[in-house]
């Protein structure tokens, strides 16, 4: 057989362990069934070891005569336990002998319980009726052809009962091809693929059984009472042995799943390769994270560290080497009363984006620890805005008050502003009430504008009533002279801080306007930094936070001590916020540490 694609083994049952079929993979149809399972069959299905068991490395299904023409048998299925869409399935099996037997290796759509048959579709990889010994059949059942279907093919296998053979089906989005021992004998490929002709685009589960008698299996020579119960009266048992069932798929189905937003130092995280291939697995995680179990398998358990990054997987399989990666972000977990989101000290604008709209111009300049916004708006209806994206998603459950420190002279008298947070999924807080920065203080002095989003994270569009994920606020969309409230004009404004705070922090603590001046050098730093106050005399404390909001250092600073030197050789590369504060003053600076 010449397969059109390179397949990897993704699932199999080799039937080499235990005494009964693995319950992780298999369950049973039991009893007589309505109208003999819809085909006037005469057997009763059980899960007794007399009828189904693991023996000698094979699955053994026995149909057994109990008395007269009463039979028990077994029908096992992977429904609700394993299913797949597209690929190649192989059964290595030896079939029963005897007129009246009707063994089958086949599949049904997993949606069988909701849409019924034949809408769910049926793929018969192998059927054999004992009254026609050695003629093996494969067939498709769909709303366009079912029951005595015309979408079928047959092939002679003279030694079906004495030797194991491979019964195979290759199933793609375009066609289904049936083969025995690698030799194709029937392909189904309808020109028009509709729900009627092609219900074969959803997951299917696997079934193996021996039926007795029935509409097709019954031998008319032995029928009694006009029933489809014709079974050779000299037959007391019929046995089918299955060496293995294997499912192969292409590598395109391989993906990694698991939590993609976590807290620093979170433990027992599970990452799983979907449709796992059979091959050599090698997982890797960022520095500081540890794989505590599962290396070499399709699923690992990880204890994370304090660095975001990627879970990567390399699999060496039959068709080559496959590489997949999965990005994991860490939440910033603010500590203390406030958390600086951006203070514009790095003089870089990589985290800023402009959406001015046709006819509008917005220019951004980051200088002197401030973000300057110059605009010329002729079309407010285009909703011109500036997007500020944070380094990491921030948990705003506790520090839910958004604060912006802004100054402008508002010489045009046109400035109107609005600040809409958005989460890492892009859901924007734009339902009423919104954070409108009005009235604007127009004296050119710095002013704080605040809005408490606690219990107020509702979005109006694109999905009305959607809730932002307050644990993963990714940025702010700052609307400038926008929409209904905007007026054409040109002007400038400056922002020097964007931060989250505990609700009421600025109103109850007026000292935040009295900002202490200090400098930090060198910046960027490698092995140490020096913090220097512009004036001595005030006693306070220095706190240093990483971008995740974790406090790295807290150290008292005596009033007469002008400089404080701190070793940074053990710090991870990144940006750090340095906070100096006491009961009446506070100051914040940022520094970049590039490693020693």
Cα 198 versus chain centre, distance: 28
CB count in 10 Å sphere of residue 270: 13
Cα 356 from Cα 363, distance rounded (Å): 9
Contacts of range 364-369, beta carbons closer than 8 Å, 24 or more positions apart: 369/343, 369/344, 369/345, 369/496
Q: What are phi and psi of 380, to 5 degrees?
A: -60, -30
**What's the token pair of residue 34?**
């309505």
Backbone φ/ψ region at 275: left (φ over 0), alpha (ψ -120 to 50), beta: left
Nearest residue to 499 (alpha-carbon basis) of 586, 564, 430, 574 = 586
Residue with tokens 């509702």: 458
Backbone φ/ψ region at 341: left (φ over 0), alpha (ψ -120 to 50), beta: alpha
Write the burial class of residue 34 (CB in 10 Å: 0-12 exposed, 13-18 middle, 19+ buried): exposed
Strands (E), 286-384: 290-293, 299-303, 309-317, 320-330, 338-342, 352-355, 361-367, 370-377
Residue with tokens 């009962």: 161
Kindly list the catalytic residues: 122, 127
Cα 563 from Cα 384, distance rounded (Å): 45
Residue with tokens 């600076």: 589
Strands (E), 116-164: 122-128, 135-141, 152-156
Cα 456 from Cα 431, distance rounded (Å): 9
70-73 vs 43-45, strand pairing mode: parallel
Q: What's the per-residue H, E or C state across 375-435?
A: EEECCHHHCCEEEEEEEEEECCCCCCEEEEEEECCCCCCCCCEEEEEEECCCCECCCCCCE
Cα 523 from Cα 349, distance rounded (Å): 17
**What's the token pair of residue 146?**
């079912």
């Amino acid at each position: 057989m010449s397969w059109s694609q390179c397949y990897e083994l993704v699932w199999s049952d080799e039937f080499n362990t235990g005494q009964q079929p693995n319950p992780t993979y298999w369950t049973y149809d039991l009893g007589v069934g309505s109208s003999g399972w819809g085909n006037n069959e005469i057997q009763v299905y059980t899960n007794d070891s007399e009828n189904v068991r693991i023996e000698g490395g094979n699955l053994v299904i026995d149909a057994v005569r109990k008395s007269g023409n009463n039979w028990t048998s077994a029908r096992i299925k992977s429904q609700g336990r394993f299913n797949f869409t597209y690929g190649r399935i192989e059964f290595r099996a030896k079939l029963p002998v005897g007129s009246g037997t009707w063994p089958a290796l086949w599949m049904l759509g997993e949606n069988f319980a909701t849409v019924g048959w034949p809408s769910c579709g049926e793929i018969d990889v192998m059927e054999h009726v004992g009254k026609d010994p050695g003629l093996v059949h494969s067939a498709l059942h769909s709303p366009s052809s079912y029951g005595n279907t015309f979408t079928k093919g047959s092939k002679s296998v003279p030694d079906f009962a004495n030797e194991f053979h491979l019964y195979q089906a290759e199933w793609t989005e375009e066609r289904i091809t049936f083969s025995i021992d690698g030799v194709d004998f029937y392909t189904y490929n309808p020109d028009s693929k509709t729900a009627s002709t092609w219900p074969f685009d959803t997951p299917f589960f696997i079934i193996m059984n021996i039926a007795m008698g029935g509409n097709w299996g019954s031998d008319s020579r032995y029928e009694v009472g006009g029933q489809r119960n014709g079974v050779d009266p000299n037959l007391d048992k019929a046995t089918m042995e299955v060496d293995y069932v294997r499912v192969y798929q292409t590598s395109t189905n391989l993906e990694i799943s698991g939590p993609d937003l976590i807290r620093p130092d979170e433990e027992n995280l599970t990452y799983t390769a979907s449709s796992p291939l059979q091959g050599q697995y090698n997982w890797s995680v960022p520095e500081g994270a540890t794989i505590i179990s599962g290396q070499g398998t399709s699923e690992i358990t990880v204890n994370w560290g304090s660095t975001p990054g990627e879970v990567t997987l390399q699999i060496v399989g039959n068709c080559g080497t496959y590489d997949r990666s999965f990005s994991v972000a860490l939440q910033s977990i603010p500590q203390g009363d406030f958390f600086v989101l951006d203070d514009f000290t790095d003089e870089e604008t990589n985290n800023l984006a402009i959406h001015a709209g046709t006819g509008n111009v917005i220019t951004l300049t980051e200088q002197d620890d401030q973000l300057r916004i110059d605009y010329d708006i002729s079309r407010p209806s285009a909703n011109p805005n500036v997007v500020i994206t944070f380094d990491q998603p921030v948990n705003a459950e506790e520090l839910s008050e958004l604060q912006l420190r802004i100054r402008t002279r508002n010489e045009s008298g046109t400035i109107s502003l609005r600040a809409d947070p958005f989460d890492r999924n892009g859901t924007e807080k734009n339902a009423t009430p919104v954070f409108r920065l009005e009235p604007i203080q127009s004296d050119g002095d710095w002013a704080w504008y605040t809005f408490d989003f606690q219990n107020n994270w509702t979005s109006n569009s694109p999905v009305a009533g959607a809730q932002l994920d307050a644990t993963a606020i990714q940025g702010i969309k700052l609307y400038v002279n926008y929409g209904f409230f905007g007026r054409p004009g040109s002007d400038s404004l400056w922002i020097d801080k964007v931060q989250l705070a505990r609700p009421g922090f600025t109103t109850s603590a007026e000292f935040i306007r009295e900002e202490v001046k200090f400098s930090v050098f060198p910046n960027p730093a490698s092995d140490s930094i020096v913090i220097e106050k512009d004036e001595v005399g005030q006693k306070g404390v220095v706190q240093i936070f990483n971008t995740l909001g974790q406090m790295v250092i807290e150290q008292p600073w005596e009033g007469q001590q002008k400089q404080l030197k701190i070793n940074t050789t053990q710090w991870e590369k990144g940006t750090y916020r340095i906070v100096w504060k006491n009961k009446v003053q506070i100051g914040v600076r940022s520094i970049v540490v590039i490693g020693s």
